[in-house]
Amino acid sequence: MFRPGRTIEYAKNLIGSWSLIHRPPRDLPAVSVGRLRATWIVELMRAHIDHHLIAQAAGLASAASLARWQHLVPPVDEVTAARLLRGPEGR
């Protein structure tokens, strides 16, 4: 689908290669797979998804790898903190 003329069965970085080949017109910024991934990770962190789950989904070695993006996540307000600490309803 992305590279119909490829000669190997598995491409190491298929999506990254695709974004390099298909560049937008001059007026638009280039697509950066790294920036897209970082945005996705930060959005998950802002939604208070478990950091171990995010690290696993992102293919990171550990949740400690998420520290570089923590400054982009605003502090939790009191109401949200209380809800998160109480856990799921019905316990």
DSSP state of 64: G
pLDDT of 1 reads 47
Q: What is the pTM of this model?
A: 0.64
pLDDT of 26 reads 80
Average pLDDT over residues 46-66: 93
Question: Rounded CA gap, 52 and 50, in Å?
Answer: 6
The pLDDT mean for the chain works out to 81
Contact between 32 and 44 under an 8 Å Cβ cutoff? The reply is no
pLDDT of 33 reads 76
